[in-house]
Structure 1
Amino acid sequence: MLPFDAKPASPVLLSGSAYERGHAQATKAGVSDQQIRTAVLGRVDQASAAGLLDTDGLGYIEAQRAFLLTEDPDTMAELAGIADGFGLMEDDLFVHQHITILRDLKTAAEIDTDGCSTWAVGDSEDGPLVVKNRDFSGTHLGVQRVFLHEGPDIATGRMICVGSAGSPGAYSSGINAAGLALVDNHVGTRRHGVGWLRYFAMTRILATCRTVDEAVAFIAARRHAGGGNLVLADRSGATAAIEFGTDTFGIERGAASWRTNHFVTAKMMDCNLLENGDRIDENSSVRFDFLSRMVPNRRWNVAAAAALMASHAEDGPDMAPLCQHPSRDDSQTISTVIYRCDKASLHFLEGNPCSGEWRLFEMPV
């Protein structure tokens, strides 16, 4: 029986080489060129107006491009396919992937932030679960898609990614046919460097790793651009939360894992870059404390997870704003996803989880 009368749905199938999968977004995602320009180029223009694309910023972008062309040619090829398919400049799409890092490098810049609340449990009535509220710019409402990727670079067979048209791979979260699921959070950090972009690493992990152990080893063996958290679980019930530095990480493992938008481990907490007046940064600790009370202290299932992610601060004492509504130009909750590792399936809702329609996506056999 499906919870919340969730309607079975089919993901957007992208097959072939990484370039071919990127190119196919333009014809298969059902998103207009204008929607992509608003979602992607609007943020790039905002970054330019905020002074992020100065000499230092562009120098960092070029160093990142050289690094990733060598270290992650498949995701770079997918990005090139997206650019060609939508008739956009690849440079603009590449900058869009790095805006949060550029914002950290110039901390006075005025540009919208992204947030997210995430958690995982290794044992529930519905098996291991991985859950995320995606808090991001409202311009991405309408361009989010659930993509099914299959191709020669995906050693795990297939992967289903929740992302946005105009961006490659797991530009938010995903699960592969082996039952490894992952979700991420933005975290502003004082320490960035040239290295793997978190979104690109997420895609490669899903394409090549089958377990949390393999994913942790993948991350530990590479240099990263820094910033952000990752929460993972696999079919065996292993979970982990990983806080990204450049060549060091905060890693916690256990029966349950959860994160919001700041670092909490001893290794990484001094790297937090929090902005006064930013709603996401200011309520991150409240949301983290709420998840700390809730996640490890009850028996979960998909329906209960969905109810938790619809929580608001005004719902009662000791509640927290996991479901964030638009206010001014702040980020807002634009979707919720609940992954079942045992079935390699996901429940997805676009918009605020306190309303809207749930859909169920299952991995094809």
Structure 2
Amino acid sequence: MFQQRDPVSLSGSAFERGLQQQKRNPNTVQAVRDATLQRVHQARAEGLLDSAGEVYLQAQRQFAKMHDPQSLKELKGIAQGFGLEENLLFEHLHLAVLRDHKRCGGIDQDGCSAWAVNNSAQGPLVVKNRDFAGSHTAIQRVFSHQGDDIKTGSVLCIGSLGSPGAYSSGMNASGLALVDTQVGSRDHGIGWLRYFLMTRLLAQCHTVDEAITFIRTRTHAGGGTLVMADINGTVAAVELGHRHISIETAPRAWRSNHFISEKLHQQTYPTDGDSISKSSLERFAVLKNRIPDGDWSIEQAIALMKSHKDTEIYGSLCQHPEGHGSLTISSAIYDVKRRELYFSGPNPCISPWYHYALNGHSQKHLTVRER
């Protein structure tokens, strides 16, 4: 059961917010170090961090210094707080890209099912099941961010201690919410890492249209999708490659862990035996069959995200680990109109749901109650 009922409140500069992760969670240092070092050491053992990988990471650091210094400042604060090397944390955030470069091993277990609708009973909803390595369950948190670099007032997001900003999903006080999914892709290069991009979109963009403009005018590292909605009811699904991006706007949108657009679908790596790839098509079919129809509500969204193959005709969205595979470590439903988050984790089929209300659209008055 997810025990952290209150959000981790972070304020000040990007560096200060990074440093406060450890200060607000002083008993988690070893858990953060273990979860991070385990994945990086595995990556090194499987050859991802060879000379070619180091060249790529160096170019990515230079790109981030030029285009996104705030994320690097936050990363520096996180590293200092948890006693980790900043470069190691930077490597950790790029493991999925490095894995695609080598196409080896089961390094990254980041799956996820995401969708958004513009017209539920509560207005626009943005929803995600976060499928990830079980080691992140203990260090997953709901964060609130305030700082001079956040032009949208404040941000409420779900991520992991030891990682910056919106490492999984988020919503800002202007009423823009977004979630992501990982995609194994051939289309990578030097550009905006998705985790940095998500944080910056929430900090700077008030609407989906602004976010789309930001995305169109930047170069991206590639790999992954974004699903988003805003208070105006605009919904979009974005597929991120390096050479190509695809942007779909529609009343309802959904994605799992493969590209579907004409530009990018052939860039998705085929299933190679890992649990995420094998379930992506099935989970996408669930969303395709369920999302277009019906009058959605918070209650209906909860029922869908905790569904299983043995009880639902279309298959399972709530993932349970097989061997060392990933599991659904959380489920998030963003009620954009009311600036509210419904959260459960791990495995929403068995964990309680919590409600986070952004009263007055200000993190200073955040309230929490169990649903």
Instruction: Mark yes or no: TM-score above 0.5.
Output: yes
Q: 2:262 aligns with which of 250, 266, 283?
A: 266
Q: What is the percentage of aligned positions where both structures have the same residue?
A: 50
Q: 1:346 aligns with which of 341, 350, 353?
A: 341
Alignment deviations for residues 268-320 of structure 1 (CA, whole Å, 9 cap, x no partner): 10110133211111121111111111011011111110110011122243x22
> Does residue 362 of structure 1 match 2:361?
no
The aligned residue for residue 44 of structure 2 is 48
How has the CA–CA distance of structure 1 residues 20 and 11 changed in structure 2, closer, same or farther, with 3 Å as cutoff?
A: same
In the TM superposition, what is the alpha-carbon distance from 1:30 to its structure 2 partner? 5.1
The aligned residue for residue 365 of structure 2 is none
**What is the alpha-carbon distance in structure 2 between the residues aligned to residue 294 and residue 316 of structure 1?**
11
Alignment deviations for residues 217-271 of structure 1 (CA, whole Å, 9 cap, x no partner): 1000000000100000000111000000114211111110100000001011011
**Contact 1:324–1:352 under 8 Å retained in 2:** yes
The aligned residue for residue 290 of structure 1 is 286
The aligned residue for residue 276 of structure 1 is 272
> Does residue 242 of structure 1 match 2:238?
yes
Matches within 5 A, 1:167-178: 167-178=163-174
Question: How many positions carry a matched residue from both structures?
Answer: 359
Q: Which amino acid aligns with 2:357?
A: E
Range that drifts further, 30-39 or 63-72: 30-39
**Contact 1:190–1:271 under 8 Å retained in 2:** yes
Q: 1:224 aligns with which of 213, 220, 224?
A: 220
**What is the alpha-carbon distance in structure 1 between the residues aligned to residue 17 and residue 197 of structure 2?**
17
Q: CA RMSD in A?
A: 1.5
**Contact 1:112–1:331 under 8 Å retained in 2:** no
The aligned residue for residue 160 of structure 1 is 156
How has the CA–CA distance of structure 1 residues 65 and 351 changed in structure 2, closer, same or farther, with 3 Å as cutoff?
A: same
Q: Which amino acid aligns with 2:334?
A: Y
**Contact 2:106–2:274 under 8 Å retained in 1:** no
**What is the alpha-carbon distance in structure 1 between the residues aligned to residue 280 and residue 354 of structure 2?**
28
The aligned residue for residue 140 of structure 2 is 144
Q: Which amino acid aligns with 1:353?
A: P
The aligned residue for residue 333 of structure 1 is 328
**What is the alpha-carbon distance in structure 1 between the residues aligned to residue 190 and residue 217 of structure 2?**
15
Q: 1:320 aligns with which of 312, 315, 319?
A: 315
The aligned residue for residue 207 of structure 2 is 211
**Contact 2:99–2:108 under 8 Å retained in 1:** no
**What is the alpha-carbon distance in structure 2 between the residues aligned to residue 9 and residue 137 of structure 1?**
22
Q: Which amino acid aligns with 2:143?
A: F
How has the CA–CA distance of structure 1 residues 31 and 185 changed in structure 2, closer, same or farther, with 3 Å as cutoff?
A: farther
Structure 2 unaligned segments of length 5 or more: list them: 361-371
Q: What is the TM-score of this pair, normalised by structure 1?
A: 0.96
**Contact 2:239–2:247 under 8 Å retained in 1:** yes
Q: Match of 2:180, SS?
A: strand
How has the CA–CA distance of structure 1 residues 24 and 7 changed in structure 2, closer, same or farther, with 3 Å as cutoff?
A: closer
Q: Which amino acid aligns with 1:328?
A: G
**What is the alpha-carbon distance in structure 1 between the residues aligned to residue 204 and residue 312 of structure 2?**
43
**What is the alpha-carbon distance in structure 1 between the residues aligned to residue 186 and residue 134 of structure 2?**
26
Alignment deviations for residues 86-140 of structure 1 (CA, whole Å, 9 cap, x no partner): 1110011100100000100011234242100000000110111000000000000
Q: Which amino acid aligns with 2:322?
A: S
> Does residue 198 of structure 1 match 2:201?
no
**Contact 1:336–1:348 under 8 Å retained in 2:** yes
**What is the alpha-carbon distance in structure 1 between the residues aligned to residue 111 and residue 16 of structure 2?**
31
Q: What is the TM-score of this pair, normalised by structure 2?
A: 0.94
The aligned residue for residue 53 of structure 2 is 57
The aligned residue for residue 115 of structure 2 is 119
Q: Match of 2:222, SS?
A: coil
**Contact 1:29–1:145 under 8 Å retained in 2:** no
Q: Match of 1:132, SS?
A: strand
In the TM superposition, what is the alpha-carbon distance from 1:33 to its structure 2 partner? 1.1
Range that drifts further, 343-352 or 171-180: 343-352
**What is the alpha-carbon distance in structure 2 between the residues aligned to residue 316 and residue 287 of structure 1?**
12
**Contact 1:235–1:341 under 8 Å retained in 2:** yes
Q: 1:109 aligns with which of 105, 108, 123?
A: 105
**What is the alpha-carbon distance in structure 1 between the residues aligned to residue 122 and residue 271 of structure 2?**
38
